[in-house]
Amino acid sequence: MNWLLAPLQFTFMQTGLLAALLVGVTCAVLGVYVVLRRMAFIGDALAHTALPGVVVAYLYGWNLFVGALVAGLLTALGIGWISRRATVREDTAIGVLFTAMFALGILMLSGMRSFRDFTHILFGNILGVTRADLLLISAMCALVLLVLALFHKELELTSFDPLHAQVMGLNPDLVRYGLLALLALMVVTGLKVAGVVLTSALLVTPAAAAALLTNRLPRMMAIAALLAACSASVGLYASYYFSVAAGSAIVLTCALLFGTAWLYRSLWQAGAAR
Amino acid sequence: MFPYGNRRHVDPVAGAPALELDLESVSYPGSAAPALQQVQLSVPVGARVALVGHNGAGKSTLLKAVAGLLPFSGRVRICGRPIGACHHRVAYLPQHGEIDWQFPIELRKLVLTGRYVHLGWLRRPSLQDYAICDALIARLGLAQMAARQIAQLSGGQQQRALLARALAQEAEVLLLDEPLIAVDAETRTVLATVMDELRARGRTLLVATHDVSGLAAEFDSAVFLSEGRVLPAAGGEPMQRQRTAAGPAV
């Protein structure tokens, strides 16, 4: 038990673990919708589009979180607007906007002639999470989970039968904008924990693994949250004991759990076919 | 922007037909060519009307326009009110392929979504909503499958589940898009019984079908569509025959 408790004597490990658990679990629950709506690409896209927001915020001395959030929300709304009524497919809209926004960020960075200040934004620094960061992360995660709980039936219905929603007067585009906004919020919240680049993995991988293990939505969310919590804990301990990057260790643990779930599902299907 | 919910319940106009259409054209988003043109139709309360035509004739387009799913030019009145004045009065049963059947929900939950129009934002289904759905599931012979994930149902069972959802809405006008396509004999029998019950309760049905064999027995009148237009009869009038006092006259 000592090996389990020893890292927690350090404050930075306590706050880091709490932050990783909060972000991991919230991303996993939100990620179930991302996976079921086949929007896996969106997390990656929103993460990349945070870059110009961060750069602009840095240039003008604003809060980097706010800059990233504004850029993420603008991208989310842009994706929803361009792909509304299926005139342009959503994956196409994502592809166009995410590369354009990332290019804009690089362009602005190259003008500054310095990439050094933004590495922690891009790749995360979980052990640098402060108490103030933890408060912000807690508030954002609570907000996202609350919105998901309040609008669960609308999110669920528009995910599998948007036509029925529309006949009832429930605008599926409005729900999609809301979901995209939550995604932008969560990706930006994951900045400190896994970095913008790896947060997308927290959105997709636990949910994708859970989808292999059950065909019930509430159970899928619970399993995804559990897998994310395991990944966060194992990743952080691995980072402590083996001196590796925490964000990467968390995401790789997620991937390992996904592989295990995939193997289990494959074996189960092979057994059922016999 | 936020019309969904029970605050939108509006009384029908007294004496108005269940459905009144004067459509100039209906187009799909992104398409310049209209999918449907010049459709005039009046369906009295309690009538059972077939929309007949081959694939691409415009049957589904007409139903989607009435359901408020497609933009159109012209006029549509449901119980004397414009589309959207009261969403719970119209139930739409889509074609099989328009739902993600792999989605991880069970049959009972699918049927329950028919009650959402009475709930709106933030309200959760009550025990009464669940009781209504359970009764419909049993009535359509699906009680044993209520807890199954929707992909695990047969095509006929999925169609019955969609009908149960449409009934759960307790709508006055039901728009059914090819409800009998690729279903088993049991489902056909159940659907025929339910449609008879609906007529007895004064519900109005507009049913898209390409099957003309049962028109006379199953419908009060039929509208024939081809290439996005109502086919004219020999005398130049739209080919729409109404029920007479003596009974069905298709």
Q: Which residue of B has its CA nearest to A210?
A: B104
pLDDT at B246 over 50: no
- What span, in angstroms and rounded, lies between the C-alpha atoms of B221 and B233? 14
Residue-level pLDDT at B244: 36
Token pair of A138 as six digits:
């807690």
Cross-strand partners of B107: none
Could you tell me if B88 and B73 are in contact, meaning their C-beta atoms sit under 8 angstroms apart?
no
Residue-level pLDDT at A81: 79
Angle between the N-to-C axes of helices A64-82 and A191-213, in degrees from 0 to 180, rounded to the nearest 10: 40
Residue B82: CB atoms within 10 Å: 12
Length of chain B as a residue count: 250
- Enumerate residues 6+ apart whose C-beta is below 8 A from B175: B63, B66, B67, B90, B91, B92, B93, B206
Residue-level pLDDT at A149: 96
Of A161, A168, A214, which has the smallest distance from its Cβ to B99's Cβ?
A161
The pLDDT confidence band at residue B8, using thresholds 50, 70 and 90, is low
- Enumerate residues 6+ apart whose C-beta is below 8 A from A67: A53, A54, A55, A56, A57, A58
How close is the nearest chain B Cα to the Cα of A86, in Å?
Answer: 8
Could you tell me if A22 and A141 are in contact, meaning their C-beta atoms sit under 8 angstroms apart?
yes
Could you tell me if B3 and B82 are in contact, meaning their C-beta atoms sit under 8 angstroms apart?
no
Q: Which residue has the higher pLDDT, B167 or B187?
A: B167
Tens of pLDDT, residues B60-105? 999 999 998 998 999 999 988 888 777 788 899 988 778 999 999 9
Q: Are A174 and B2 in contact (CB < 8 Å)?
A: yes
| Residue B22 phi, psi (nearest 5) | -140, 80
Q: What residues of B are in contact with residue A152 (Cβ under 8 Å)?
A: none
Residue A50: CB atoms within 10 Å: 31
pLDDT at B250 over 50: no
CB-side neighbour CA atoms (13 Å) of B234: 0
Whether A167 has its CB under 8 Å from any CB of chain B: the answer is yes
pLDDT at B197 over 60: yes
Q: Which residue has the tokens 């709930």?
A: B119
Residue-level pLDDT at B243: 45
- What span, in angstroms and rounded, lies between the C-alpha atoms of A64 and A66? 5
Residue B232: CB atoms within 10 Å: 11
Could you tell me if A159 and B103 are in contact, meaning their C-beta atoms sit under 8 angstroms apart?
yes
Q: What is the pTM of this model?
A: 0.86
- What span, in angstroms and rounded, lies between the C-alpha atoms of B66 and B76? 7
Cross-strand partners of B50: B207, B222
Q: How far is CA B6 from the centre of its chain?
A: 20
Per-residue pLDDT of chain A (274 residues; tens, 9 = 90+): 788 888 889 998 999 999 999 999 999 999 999 999 988 888 778 877 877 888 888 888 888 788 888 888 888 888 777 776 666 777 788 888 888 888 888 888 777 766 556 666 666 788 888 898 899 999 999 999 999 999 999 999 999 999 999 999 898 988 988 998 899 889 888 876 777 667 888 999 999 999 999 989 999 999 999 999 999 999 999 999 999 888 889 989 999 999 999 999 999 888 877 7
Q: Most distant CA pair in chain B: distance in Å?
A: 55
Token pair of B173 as six digits:
């006008």
Residue-level pLDDT at B2: 57
- What span, in angstroms and rounded, lies between the C-alpha atoms of B63 and B209? 12
In the sheet that holds B173-177, the strands lie side by side as: B90-93, B173-177, B204-209, B48-52, B221-226, B229-230
Residue-level pLDDT at A224: 97
How close is the nearest chain A Cα to the Cα of B143, in Å?
Answer: 18
Residue-level pLDDT at B184: 82
Could you tell me if A183 and A76 are in contact, meaning their C-beta atoms sit under 8 angstroms apart?
yes
Cα–Cα distances (Å) from A214 to A157, A160, A269, B176, in that order, read 19, 17, 13, 32
Residue-level pLDDT at B200: 86
Residue-level pLDDT at B247: 37
Residue-level pLDDT at B206: 93
- What span, in angstroms and rounded, lies between the C-alpha atoms of B147 and A205? 27
**Interface pTM, i.e. ipTM:** 0.85
Q: Which of A238, A133, A230, A242 is nearest to A188 (CA)?
A: A133
Could you tell me if B140 and B190 are in contact, meaning their C-beta atoms sit under 8 angstroms apart?
yes
Q: What residues of B are in contact with residue A166 (Cβ under 8 Å)?
A: 67-69
Could you tell me if B55 and B70 are in contact, meaning their C-beta atoms sit under 8 angstroms apart?
no
Domains plus CATH for chain A? 11-196 (1.10.3470.10)
Residues 194 through 253 of chain A touching chain B, CB cutoff 8 Å: 211, 214-217, 220
Residue-level pLDDT at B234: 45
Could you tell me if A166 and B175 are in contact, meaning their C-beta atoms sit under 8 angstroms apart?
no
3-state secondary structure of B39: strand
* CB burial of residue A121 (10 Å; 0-12, 13-18, 19+): buried
How close is the nearest chain A Cα to the Cα of B113, in Å?
Answer: 7
Token pair of A107 as six digits:
């362009």
How close is the nearest chain B Cα to the Cα of A215, in Å?
Answer: 5
